[in-house]
Structure 1
Amino acid sequence: MNTSSTPLPGGTWTLGDSTVTRFGYGAMQLAGPWVMGPPADRDGALAVLREAVSLGITHIDTSDAYGPRITNELIRDALHPYPESLFIATKVGATRDAQGGWPTARRPADLRKQVHENLESLGVEALDLVNMRMGDAQGSQPGSITEAFETLVDLQREGLIRHLGVSNVTPEQVAEARGIAPIVCVQNMYNLAHRHDDDLVDRLATDGIAYVPFFPLGGFTPLQSEALSKVASRLEATPMSVALAWLLQRSPNILLIPGTSSTAHLRENVAGAGLSLSDEDMAELDSIGH
């Protein structure tokens, strides 16, 4: 339930048969360092999740590979039984090794195992959305998505998945997946400084498909730009607030999932994303990634 008196920035978007807030929450940072092991402050992590829901956020992004299992179990412990309005997206296609790496795991048996692990750790009978993660830790890689994606389509037919998406993919893989079954979103790395998907964002918007940028603030290398700093200074805002607001104003199909392990930072992100950027601001910021 939204106990906040102010609406979230960006309004809403429809994913399949569900309406979600465009401002969502990414749970990856709730795990320990390098997304391995439990958080140092478990109660704090649970508080962040409950605060997200109390602010009115209805879109939470996670994966059973985070921890592994840690973030899904935190989500379940904090929020189950889930509000009817809550939409939880997860992803499959990679596991974790003892060194904290992300080895790919995309054989049909691997994917079935990961889907069942997500169902168990989240405590649900069907997953709202499963993104088929391709590529590797370095980013998207060319190659066919068909065998892996068809496995998720089979699981959707079995009633274990409600909606399908793709992640860390090339435009060719997006087209290949869409030729097999409908998708509701694409989740790729995209932010002010990494604009390689500009054309894809616009094509998906035309087709009513969401684009969900991961690392919206640069990920492990925070965004730094003279133009960004200049606009932020002019607006008396932080550069990160400007970067989030730019994404929401960039295209109506962009859904934000910034992550944090702090309730104060979560509230700052929400407030920052609501910043109103002028045409002049947007034009100045657009020059960063080009």
Structure 2
Amino acid sequence: MNLSPRRRLIGLIALWAVSLAGLAFFWPDGGPTVREQVGAGVSRPVAAAAVAAAVAEASTYEDAAFTVGGFVKGADCSLTPIRSGVAYSQTVTVYTRPENAYSLLGRLYTALKAPYDLVGNGEGAYLGSAGPFVVARLEQGDDGAVTWTLDTGCRPDEDPVAQVEAVGTPGPTAAAVATSLGMTAPRWTQAEGGCGTGGSSGAASTVSASSMPASGEAKGAEQNPAGVTVTAETVTRAAESGWVAYSGPAAGAGAAVTEAGARWFVGMPDADGSVAVLSWDPVTGVATVSSTVACG
């Protein structure tokens, strides 16, 4: 049977597409050809181990407090020209008094450098590897807080293990702060960080809730069913109720919340050992209230 040149071209294109799809998934030995095809759930324990290392270290600092973020889905991405995916990440944020901020970064770098092969990227951050295809990043933000972030890179969006989320109960100070912000029905989610093997016991945990973004995006409404948008003035009033131990980047417990002033506040420990943190993003207008119990 003779095929027209047009039909032959269509057939070749179809064959090429099928071949490309097959090669994108497997080598001849049946293994994945690209890192992103390993499900995000496989990377979750790798990230958890790196979180535990930072949490165990930060728990020994008497002049600092920290929060543990969840293993969260980020932006959509492309695995291949014909297959989409998504990236996951988890972050530990460490706060200290502004005068100790620079030494805080140095202490964490010293503790995490060797096990994660951290090297400077020339832009103030340190990059390393937490495990197969999981990037570790240590850096200090403009507000003085230090973040330790584990990033999976682009993975298939088909692993339910990666999306497990727990609900928790905040400490009394965090609950009161959320109420003062007008968050009458927040959704409190819990994230845990193991305490490593350095003598600490149990696991650290952070319970947190966020307000609606200033834009009123649906995601914010899901996190806070009350639909409250928090302003800088609201955050300033919430920080003036006597619970704050220190704030940043501006010094002073009662610093006004502005882009140049305080953007986060760390509370004094509650009787249950939890420490409340209130942070506010001047770009999105989102306020997050957290309650963390550190390693014992």
After TM superposition, the score normalised by the length of structure 1 is: 0.25
Q: Which has the larger radius of gyration?
A: 2
